[in-house]
């Protein structure tokens, strides 16, 4: 099997799709059914999110490579022994020992392929059954939106999720990390991440146009609402290109405004070219769009502080402490607010933070945002 990426000449739904996955058999013939599924699935679900392309393409390529290596035929869905997908799952988990979440992701795409194949009449039945699995929720939390009754029909071949422990930074670790960020640009990126919960690519693309002087804004509210809109021409990028509104403290906006006027201005002058993002690298250019440069920077600062940290851990830190503070105040539905702030498509994704609440009983962490200022001597 071969997995190749399309050039910009490949057009789908009227859009050039450089990097779109194409699966070929060993003799370089097109794996027609897989490629038709990819065109259908990715154009329907996430054509504006090319990051999903290699994951989906790799999953189907890997599954068909497994079948080809073991001389199995993907349409053989009526075998009396173990199903094709179950055999592949066992191979992934037991033979090559992939992480369970990786296997779950791959099996999800493989199952979606077979569901599409059944609708197209390529197979007479699915090589797996469905079973009802319980969705674990905190007692009483968001019961009014749980229309599924706490249950979900899931392919029987899907490995059960083993939720890992979410790692976040303590008060002392946040302080140590920021003190280790002696570069003012790195300091501001990390501080903004801790106070906004943005993803690394959202940090990399956060536009200068969104940074305003709070003293000239109407009202006296402590919080400002900022609309992250990938379609407004500012260069903002969000997961799935979804528009959302986030809440930023007025003090944080003031810090961003001062940073943009002074430190950013120095870097922007290096190129003489107007750049859209507020954060620029040492050459005066935008950080890489996927945020990998920011990832390396955060890890480097963390290493100097004696911590193993990455941008998503900063996101976890923001989410965990904010959820605890909102729980204490009992003024709004904490998970609904946090879901919107973090840009989660499903509330179930946000709920992973619930199991951390019992660990955060010390009053020192309950007012995270205010204390962050105190720790830093603001």
- Write phi, then psi, for 29 (nearest 5 degrees): -75, 150
Predicted confidence at residue 331, as pLDDT, reads: 56
What helix, strand, coil percent values describe the chain, rounded to 5? Answer: 50, 10, 40
Predicted confidence at residue 190, as pLDDT, reads: 97
Q: What is the model's pTM?
A: 0.66
Predicted confidence at residue 164, as pLDDT, reads: 63
Q: Which residues of 25-40 are buried (b: 16+ CB within 10 A; e: fewer)?
A: eeeeeebebbbebbbe
Predicted confidence at residue 11, as pLDDT, reads: 84
Q: What is the pLDDT of residues 108-134, one digit of tens each?
A: 999 999 999 999 999 988 988 888 876
Predicted confidence at residue 286, as pLDDT, reads: 95
Predicted confidence at residue 17, as pLDDT, reads: 85
Predicted confidence at residue 221, as pLDDT, reads: 82
Q: Contact 74/64 with Cβ under 8 angstroms?
A: yes
Q: How far apart are CA 108 and CA 63, in angstroms?
A: 12
Predicted confidence at residue 148, as pLDDT, reads: 46
Sign of CA dihedral 290, 294, 298, 299: positive
Q: Contact 122/335 with Cβ under 8 angstroms?
A: no
The DSSP bridge pattern shows strands 223-228 and 244-249 to be: antiparallel
Predicted confidence at residue 139, as pLDDT, reads: 40
* Structure letter (DSSP) for residue 99: -
CB atoms within 10 A of CB 180: 20
Q: Which residues of 312-348 are buried (b: 16+ CB within 10 A; e: fewer)?
A: bbbbbbbbbbbbbbbeeeeeeebbebbbebbbbeebe
Q: How far apart are CA 369 and CA 194, in angstroms?
A: 9
Predicted confidence at residue 294, as pLDDT, reads: 96
Q: What is the pLDDT of residues 127-155, one digit of tens each?
A: 888 888 765 544 443 444 444 445 568 88
Query: Which residue has 């099997």 as its token pair?
Result: 1
Instruction: Kindly give the parts of the chain with pLDDT less than 70.
Output: 44-49, 79-82, 134-152, 162-165, 327-332, 352-378
Domain range list for the chain: 2-155, 171-375
Q: How far apart are CA 116 and CA 338, in angstroms?
A: 34
Q: Which CATH class is domain 171-375?
A: mainly alpha
Identify the helix (H) or strand (E) that includes residue 134.
Answer: strand 130-134
Predicted confidence at residue 99, as pLDDT, reads: 86
**Cross-strand bridge partners of residue 226:** 246
Q: What is the pLDDT of residues 86-109, one digit of tens each?
A: 999 999 999 989 888 889 999 999
Predicted confidence at residue 366, as pLDDT, reads: 40
């Amino acid at each position: 099997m071969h997995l190749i990426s399309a050039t910009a000449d490949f057009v789908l739904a009227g859009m050039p799709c450089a990097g779109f996955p194409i699966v070929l058999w060993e003799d370089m013939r097109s794996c027609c059914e897989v490629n038709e599924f990819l065109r259908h699935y990715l154009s329907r679900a996430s054509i504006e999110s090319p990051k999903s392309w290699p994951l989906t393409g790799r999953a189907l390529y890997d599954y068909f490579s497994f079948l080809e290596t073991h001389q199995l035929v993907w349409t053989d869905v009526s075998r009396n022994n173990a199903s094709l997908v179950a055999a592949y799952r066992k191979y992934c988990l037991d033979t090559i020992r992939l992480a369970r979440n990786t296997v779950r992701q791959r099996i999800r795409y493989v199952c979606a392929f077979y569901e599409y194949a059944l609708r197209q009449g390529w197979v007479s039945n699915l090589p797996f059954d469905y079973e009802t699995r319980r969705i674990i929720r905190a007692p009483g939390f968001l019961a009014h939106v749980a229309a599924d009754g706490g249950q979900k029909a899931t392919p029987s071949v899907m490995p059960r999720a083993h939720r890992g422990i979410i790692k976040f930074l303590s008060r002392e670790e946040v302080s140590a990390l920021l003190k280790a960020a002696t570069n003012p640009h790195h300091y501001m990126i990390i501080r903004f991440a801790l106070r906004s919960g943005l993803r690394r690519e959202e940090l990399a693309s956060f536009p200068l146009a969104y940074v305003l002087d709070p003293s000239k804004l109407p009202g006296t509210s402590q919080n400002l609402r900022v609309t992250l809109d990938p379609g407004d021409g500012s260069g903002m990028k969000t997961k799935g290109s979804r528009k959302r509104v986030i809440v930023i403290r007025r003090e944080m906006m003031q810090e961003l405004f001062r940073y943009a006027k002074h430190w950013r201005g120095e870097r922007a002058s290096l190129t003489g070219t107007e750049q859209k993002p507020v954060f620029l690298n040492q050459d005066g250019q935008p950080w890489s769009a996927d945020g990998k440069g920011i990832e390396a920077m955060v890890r480097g600062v963390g290493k100097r502080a004696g911590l193993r940290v990455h941008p998503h851990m900063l996101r976890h830190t923001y989410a965990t402490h904010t959820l605890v503070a909102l729980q204490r105040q009992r003024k709004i539905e904490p998970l609904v607010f946090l879901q919107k702030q973090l840009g989660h498509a499903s509330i179930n994704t946000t709920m992973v933070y619930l199991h951390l609440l019992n660990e955060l009983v010390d009053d020192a962490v309950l007012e995270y945002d205010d204390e962050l200022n105190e720790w830093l001597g603001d």
